[in-house]
Amino acid sequence: MPGFEMFGAEEKKEVNEVLETGILMRYGFDGARNGMWKSKELEQAICSRFETQYAQLTSSGTGALTTAMVALGVGVGDEVIMPAFTFVASFEAILSVGAVPILVDIDSSLTLDPAAVEAAITPRTKCIMPVHMCGSMADLDALKAICDKYNLILLEDACQSIGGTYKGKPLGSIGHAGTFSFDFVKTITCGEGGVVMTNSKEVYTKADAYTDHGHDHAGVDRGADLHPFLGYNFRISELHAAVGLAQIKKLDQFLVVQKKNNQILKSYVEKVPGIAFRTVPDPAGDSGSFLTWFLPSQAATEKV
């Protein structure tokens, strides 16, 4: 039940407000933008909806993962433990900062197997990156305990589980940082976009600068900004942020619809003999965007 299926008047209104000002960039042009700060508004909405202190929008979920790793100090030669089952962007982002992806087995939750994670730790391990695959979540208590024990960073790739929770806390808000993607097929979309969420001011400050060529964004004159960090360009545009702002206001409605549809489908599928559903570490927190099950044999699976 991705957000693009409920695209409507709300998105058009937000985008038109940006078009009226003609200021499509998120920084500067304070007078001409006539009070329109869609990216800032969306960041504030993300902080309050997902219970996180800081949010930095990016141009994609992949850009958000790369930015998060830079801001968390993950770099050349560091090993990042990630699941073998994921979308390729998780892998690309690790390589993009010169770190080494360590692919580890999943369990029946279809996310990182905590025992396999612990077995993969070496003196070079810096970060554990669970991917909350297909609307559900990893066993965050177990992974957090491992991070605490070995003094490792926990980075949540929550790109596929917007609106899911673990023990009452929003996915993406639990690790040292978490990311969402707002690409066209995610639960809410900006067309293209992503976000880094964190409760660390230091991580946020680095993420903010990194996405915009190292600008410190400290004053009102962009040309006079200092550049305390080396950066890149992962900026989101005001047009994309405007779409996201309309979508986040409808997120709870999307979740109600997708959870309801998920239950209806499940009520049919569970009647089929031999079917087993994936393990969900906190069933109440499943976002309902996927229904995933296992069949008893390879032959039966291929037939289906």
Ligand X SMILES: *Cc1c(COP(=O)(O)O)cnc(C)c1O
Q: Which residues in this chain contact ligand X in the complex, by CB under 6 A?
A: 60-62, 86-87, 89-90, 131, 157, 159-160, 181, 183, 194
What's phi and psi for 266, nearest 5 deg? -60, -40
* Token pair in block for residue 82: 């990630």
**Position 290: which residue type?**
F
How far, in Å, CA of 304 to CA of 301, rounded? Answer: 5
Q: At 196, is the secondary structure helix, strand, or coil?
A: strand
Please report where in the chains the tokens 């009070």 appear, as a residue: 35
CB nearer to ligand X: give 33 or 164: 164
Residue pair 281/107 in contact (Cβ under 8 Å)? The answer is no
Dihedral sign computed on CA atoms, order 41, 155, 182, 287: negative
Element (H, E) at 69: helix 61-71
CB nearer to ligand X: give 23 or 102: 102
Among residues 126, 167, 169, 186, the one annotated as catalytic is 186
CB of 48 vs ligand X, minimal distance in Å: 22
* Token pair in block for residue 225: 């900004």
| Residue closest to ligand X (Cβ) | 61
CB nearer to ligand X: give 60 or 136: 60
CB nearer to ligand X: give 157 or 286: 157
CB of 103 vs ligand X, minimal distance in Å: 14
Distance set, CA 238 to CA 4, 42, 158, 167 (Å): 18, 10, 23, 34
Q: Is there a catalytic annotation at residue 169?
A: no
CB nearer to ligand X: give 90 or 125: 90
> Which one, of 119, 114, 162, 117, lies nearest residue 141 by Cα?
114
CB of 4 vs ligand X, minimal distance in Å: 13
Please report where in the chains the tokens 């390729």 appear, as a residue: 88
CA atoms within 13 A on the CB side of 108: 9
Residue 272 CB burial class (10 angstroms; 0-12, 13-18, ≥19):
exposed
CB of 228 vs ligand X, minimal distance in Å: 27
CB of 62 vs ligand X, minimal distance in Å: 3
CB of 163 vs ligand X, minimal distance in Å: 14
* Token pair in block for residue 66: 């790369």
CB nearer to ligand X: give 33 or 262: 262
The DSSP 8-state label assigned to residue 235 in this structure reads P
Please report where in the chains the tokens 């969402």 appear, as a residue: 180
Residues with a known catalytic role: 186
